[in-house]
Amino acid sequence: MKSTWILLALLLANSVPAFAETLSLQRQQELLYMLRHDCGSCHGMLLHGGLGPALLPENLQGKAPDGLGATIFYGRPGTAMPPWRALLTWTEINWLVSQLRQGRLNQRQLAINPKN
């Protein structure tokens, strides 16, 4: 019986961070704004590419989500891609990667200004 309680406690302890890091709608809008204005300055305002590669679903096919996330988190030394680890959590990065890979972003979403 004691081992059942220990197992239950471990399961609950590991599940709490997932709930704690759910992104609010406001934070999602802030991330979309950042994607448009910060990422878009190199990857193109429509994410079709520029100094950096295009961030469209067809360009991201075959790339591992963890690898894309690591590129955002750590940047690419020796290139113009900066690390974003000081501004974004892994949860936020994973959300952005998911949005990009699934093509969920449209021009209206990218134009949202969270300050309005």
Q: What is the DSSP letter of 105?
A: -
Number of domains in the chain: 1
Residue 11 inside a domain? The answer is no
- The pair of three-digit structure tokens given for residue 64, joined into one six-digit string: 């591992």
Q: How would you write the pLDDT of the chain (116 residues) with one tens digit per residue?
A: 555 444 434 444 443 344 346 899 999 999 999 998 999 999 998 899 999 999 999 999 999 999 999 999 999 999 999 999 999 999 999 999 999 998 877 655 555 555 55
Report the 10 Å Cβ neighbour count for 56. Answer: 18
Determine the Cα–Cα distance for residues 51 and 116; give it in Å rounded to an integer.
29
The verdict on residue 13 lying in a domain is: no
CATH of the domain at 100: 1.10.760.10
The domain in which residue 78 lies consists of 24-110
